[in-house]
Amino acid sequence: MSTQPQAGTRLDPWYGSYSQRTHGMRASEIRALFAVANRPEVVSLAGGMPNIADLPMASIADAVADLLRRDGARALQYGSGQGDPVLRGQIADVMSLEHINAHPDDVVVTTGSQQALDLVARIFLDPGDVVVAEAPSYVGALGVFRAYEAEVVHTPMDAHGLVPEALDEVLTQLAASGRRAKLLYTVPNFHNPGGVTLSLERRPRVIEVARRHGVLILEDNPYGLLGFDGEPLPALASMAPDDVVYLGSFSKTFAPGYRVGWALAPHAVREKLVLASESAILCPSNAGQLAISTYLSQFDWRGQVKEYRRMYAERRDAMVGALQEYLPTCSWTTPEGGFYVWLKLPEGLDAREMLPRAVTSLVAYVPGTAFYADGSGAGHLRLSYCYPTPERIVEGVRRLAGVVNAEADLVAMFGTAPSRTDGVETPGPATP
């Protein structure tokens, strides 16, 4: 005799109702391992959290309290779908530092630039459409493109960023196979995760290639003002305003908590972004916008950005110095701004497979596979230097070196080293 229930349970009565794209979402053990990275014992070189500990919190608190007392009825009310007009004007001023001559009417304020990314994907991408993105590319963008069921085709970078000739070839091949890319997604400054910057010389050439192939450029620029030396480079949007949707953010130049970003777009695109945003969120947070606006008008935000640059440069130096000392078997990019170093492991090592060993050794990073849509990138990893102190960064790299060396021994022992060629062509360790 047997006991035969009619049906089992999936512990999810709605399992049969999800969209196709939801069925592709998998819970990864990598995410679970990152739960350990939050413990203070672990040196997390994984996350990209800005270090905001030195912001003048008490003064900001006073200013925000005053804002609510003065203008609370507006701050806590619904606002314009396009965003607060005063803030849009201030955003235009911020962008002028990158040579962008923007009209506030062409700015759409969003809930972080991540929402702007989502809106652009929403208005341009049908399932199966092609987006060309750097190899590697920002993991959050890949997630958005995947959600809209677009196909990401990667195009190579080198130490000077996107390679225009290679981009031309990728777009030509796509066209030859009867497919046109709709967007070129690029992070031109202090790339996440690549750490490289698109050179000034290449910028017009990238624009020319994209224009010739009829591809809209999506310029994602959260780190542009965080260069360690010299002035910010002119944005692609400053050179070709009709061919570029530009995404900006206050998350790195001020703080991410208010979730205020923006898109700057040609007027026809802008109009559709506003409609799409209204349908998604009605309007961005008025309280957040007015707080940011207050910060920009009452505080020395340029001085704060300068302070951020100094702090992050010190941390970059700590990381690169530690890499030179402890990981001579690896190569890496040396960023001139931003948050990230892209590291190439010795031949045959798999950053994803190695992560549990790293977590056991109390250090965390993001495996390179996160930054590719096609599963490649296992031979690389991203290291963030933005959050830990310089001392902790050095300790983290020291721990990582032990992990890399142990894993290299293991891989050599089992002979599991495949050859790889993907990713940024990382220059060898710079001589001190």
With CB under 8 A as the contact rule, the residue among 106, 134, 407, 422 that binds other proteins is 407
213: which 2 tokens? Answer: 């192939």
Q: Minimum distance between the CB of residue 414 and other proteins, rounded to whole angstroms?
A: 4
Residue 169 or 347: the one with the smaller Cβ distance to other proteins is: 347
Contact residue for other proteins among 89, 356, 390, 402 (CB under 8 A): 356
38: left (phi over 0), alpha (psi -120 to 50) or beta: alpha
How many residues at the interface with other proteins, by CB under 8 A? 43
- The reply to whether omega before 193 is within 30° of 0 (cis) is yes
Cβ-based nearer residue to other proteins, 271 or 353? 353
347 binds other proteins (CB under 8 A): no
Exactly one of 15, 21, 310, 430 binds other proteins (CB under 8 A); that residue is: 15
Q: How far is the CB of 390 from other proteins (least distance, A)?
A: 24
Query: Nearest approach, Cβ of 418 to other proteins (angstroms)?
Result: 10
Does 375 participate in binding other proteins (rule CB under 8 A)?
Answer: no
Query: Would you state the structure tokens that stand for residue 331, as one six-digit string?
Result: 């190569």
**Alpha-carbon distance values, 194 to 102, 366, 374 (Å):** 28, 12, 17
Q: Does 4 interact with other proteins (rule: CB under 8 A)? A: yes
Nearest to 410 by CA among 365, 354, 326, 358: 354
Out of 55, 64, 280, 410, the only residue in the binding site for other proteins (CB under 8 A) is 410
Cβ distance 107 to 189 under 8 Å?
no
CA dist 350 → 135, 232, 370, 411 (Å) = 17, 36, 12, 9
| Stretch of 38-46, 123-131, 136-144, 208-216 lying at the interface with other proteins (CB under 8 A) | 38-46
Q: How far is the CB of 18 from other proteins (least distance, A)?
A: 8
List the one residue from 19, 20, 35, 421 that touches other proteins (CB under 8 A).
35
User: Does 77 sit near other proteins (CB under 8 A)?
Assistant: no
Q: In what order do the strands lie in the sheet with 107-111?
A: 107-111, 260-264, 244-249, 216-220, 181-186, 130-135, 151-158, 161-162
CA atoms within a 13 Å half-sphere pointing along the CA-CB vector of 235:
31
Measured in degrees and rounded to the nearest 5, phi and psi for residue 219 equal: -95, 110
Q: By CB under 8 A, is residue 69 in contact with other proteins?
A: no
- DSSP H or E segment with residue 413: helix 390-414
Tokens of 237: 């949007």
> From residue 104, how far is each of 88, 99, 262, 263, 284 by CA, in Å?
5, 15, 11, 11, 16
CB of 367 to other proteins, least distance (A): 12
345 forms part of the interface with other proteins (CB under 8 A): no
User: Does 354 engage in binding with other proteins (CB under 8 A)?
Assistant: yes
CA distance 411 to 73: 63
Smallest distance, Å, CB 12 to other proteins?
4
Using the rule CB under 8 A, which residue among 21, 39, 306, 310 binds other proteins?
39
State how far the Cα of 260 lies from the Cα of 79, in Å rounded to an integer: 14
Closest CA to 214 of 188, 239, 242, 186: 242
Q: Does 21 bind other proteins (CB under 8 A)?
A: no
Q: Which is nearer to other proteins, 20 or 177 (CB)?
A: 20
Among 169, 353, 395, 425, binds other proteins (CB under 8 A): 353
Q: Which is nearer to other proteins, 33 or 139 (CB)?
A: 33
Q: Is residue 28 close enough to count as binding other proteins by CB under 8 A?
A: yes
Query: Where does this chain touch other proteins (CB under 8 A) — which range of 99-107, 182-190, 275-283, 350-358?
Result: 350-358
Q: Please, which residues have CB within 8 angstroms of residue 419's CB and are 6 or more apart in sequence?
A: 347
Q: How far is the CB of 364 from other proteins (least distance, A)?
A: 12
Binding site for other proteins (CB under 8 A): 1-5, 8-12, 15, 18, 23, 25-29, 31-33, 35-36, 39, 41-42, 350, 353-357, 359-360, 362, 407, 409-411, 413-416
